Amino acid sequence: NINLILDNNLLDIKNSSLYVSDSPVLIDGRIDKKSTVDISIKAEKIPLPVLFNAFAPKNVRNTYNFKSGDLSFNLNLKGKLKNAIATANATLINLFIGDKSNNFVLKNEKFASEFSIKGQNLEGDIQNNNFGILLPKTKSKLFADKLEIKIADKNIEIKENNLNLNNNSSLVSFLF
């Protein structure tokens, strides 16, 4: 259900939505005749396997199992079009994907990000909890309980994190 009004140099998007499975994507906002934008796009728990099965090429669908993963996001664009400020928050929970040959499994409990873009400046935070790669044929595992990244002023700071290899080796990683 998309409701667009184009009238007198105005684009108005009112109470618009679309659905991915049973999860709504809500769109609302406007661009006025002075080129001021205020648009919001929100979604809660979009099931990524549904999108994968609908849009991935057949050879990719035949190669990988995308068992779970729900994406939620909130995107906003505000201000004059030439220098509008964009903000984005996204959360991905319960990601589970592997290949059908059982060579690897990728698991992730929760990925959360928050970004703002103003002109050429990008700032943001990323937090990732319980990321793991499993290699069933070799019985190898690599897990990271927590990963935190901060992006500001063209710098990327990755905080100290612990990697667990095969449940018996712990590595402390310092990046940047």
Tens-place pLDDT, residues 29-80 = 999 999 999 999 999 999 999 999 999 999 999 999 999 999 999 999 999 9
Question: In this structure, are strands 64-80 and 36-47 parallel, antiparallel, or unpaired?
Answer: antiparallel
Nearest Cα to 34, choosing from 79, 76, 3?
Answer: 79
Amino acid (1-letter code) at residue 6: L
Distance CA(139)–CA(147), nearest Å, equals 24
Nearest Cα to 95, choosing from 82, 106, 83?
Answer: 106
Tell me, what's the pLDDT at 174?
A: 52
Tell me, what's the pLDDT at 120?
A: 83
Distance CA(60)–CA(33), nearest Å, equals 45
